[in-house]
Structure 1
Amino acid sequence: MDLILHPTYFIDVVSLVHLYHSNHVTLEIHDNYVKQTYRNRCYIAAANGKLALNIPIVHQKTGGSVPYNSIEINRTDDWATQHLKSIKSAYNSSPFYEYYETDLHELYRDIPKLLIDWNIKTLHWALDLLNIKKAIQTTDQYLDNDKARDLVTAKQIPILNTDPYIQVFQEKHGFLNALSALDLIFNVGPSAGVYLKSQYYLIKNTK
């Protein structure tokens, strides 16, 4: 199965399931920037429920479409420190947060200027920690792909309801679907590959 993905701020678990079961993965780098997507946000499970972590961007003065690969991260806000604090607050009691905390802080020490570069960096970081080996290429031109567009859209019902795994605050809020891969990493750790493999039945008949 071939998969096209728009680079996002820490790939979400639904997209990660698709990636895990794909033979070829291509990152779309020639699309336009679209609001209300995972391009500049991810979701984690916090004490009060689902929490969005948003990356501020530099807004370009244009009335038309803006290439995603030209979007810069706004560095006037100390958003990275706030995100790290929120992640720690959410997952400090999870089984594997302390195990991966140093790796997470190391990742945030060098944030690229462009949003797309940062998102690709977070993707490779997550895949490395989960020991997922995939050959990933990038597009030479824009590929209009319905599944890629559905996966990147944050403000709609996720295209899959993955099986529950143990989450922090689950007794309070129930299982939260389609959270950031951070949620899977900190709650499941090295067993994440087993979980992702078990989700094949959800996508085997999808195009």
Structure 2
Amino acid sequence: MSTVLFELPYCPPAAFFAELLTADRLLLERHEHYHKQTYRNRCLVLTAQGVQPLTVPVIDGNRSEKVRIDALEIDYRQNWVHRHWRTLQTAYGNSSFFAYYADYFHDVFVSKPDRLFDLNLALLQLILRCLRLTLPVEFTPEWHAHYPAAQLLDRRDWLSPKELPDTASGAGLRGAYRQCFGAAFVPGLSVLDLLFALGPAAGQLLLPAPQTGGEPSAPRPGLSI
């Protein structure tokens, strides 16, 4: 069984999902400590003003002592749900498939989970369904800093908002697609950018990760949204 290990991000880039195309199981890190300025609580979207980060505020995210990721609470004293949703509406309201998916995502946001881990998991499960990717999602039972390469593919902190890809192929895509703003294609955005542009066909543009020791498996069929 081929297993890929990731931290649990907030609406991550398409490259995250491209890594799942040839995996048999997704393992999510549940026992790490929170890392600031990562995709754990932020994503990147394209607006008329350019690339904009959307950050979920967390309680005690700046304190010196470490907080385990599945215990980290969201700070609803800040009206971030309204800001994020209005930004998505402004950025993607005219895209081909925003209206097709909007209610599903809005329901997750307004449910206001207490913890960041629960919010990210609900969004991840929804995006997997939208992309028609079906594979078991499991959680680490304990913390390990390193795993043998033969045991799994460790992709923790492989993606960073500070190191965006230069080309579509580096972003886990077979090629560029038409975005809402700008003449030049912008890679490395949240998968929402791809999903709202292409809808049910979005998964077909994902580029499987290179494989060693065998042929990559075909993407799995999934559920209709």
TM-score (normalised: structure 2): 0.82
1:28 and 1:143 in contact (8 A); partners too:
no
Shift in alpha-carbon separation, 1:132–1:62, aligned structure 2, 3 A: same
For 1:147, which of 149, 155, 161 is the aligned residue?
A: 155
Q: Are 2:179 and 1:178 aligned? A: no
Q: More helix per residue: 1 or 2?
A: 1
2:36 and 2:61 in contact (8 A); partners too:
no
C-alpha root-mean-square deviation of aligned residues, in Å?
2.0
Q: Give the ranges of 4+ consecutive aligned residues of structure 1 lying more than 3 Å apart after TM superposition.
A: none
Aligned to 1:129: 130
Deviation of 1:78 after TM superposition, in Å, equals: 1.2
Q: Are 2:104 and 1:103 aligned? A: yes
Q: Aligned equivalents of 1:204 and 1:166: distance in 2? A: 29
Aligned to 1:46: 47
Deviation of 1:157 after TM superposition, in Å, equals: 3.6
Q: Aligned equivalents of 2:137 and 2:144: distance in 1? A: 16
Q: Aligned equivalents of 2:37 and 2:62: distance in 1? A: 19
Q: Are 2:169 and 1:165 aligned? A: no
Aligned to 1:83: 84
2:164 and 2:187 in contact (8 A); partners too:
no
Q: Are 2:182 and 1:188 aligned? A: no
Q: Aligned equivalents of 1:121 and 1:158: distance in 2? A: 27
Q: How many equivalent residue pairs?
A: 200
1:3 and 1:19 in contact (8 A); partners too:
yes
TM-score (normalised: structure 1): 0.88
**Counterpart AA for 2:15:** V
Deviation of 1:81 after TM superposition, in Å, equals: 0.9
What is the identity percentage for the equivalent residue pairs of Structure 1 and Structure 2? 28
In structure 1, the gaps of 5 or more residues are none
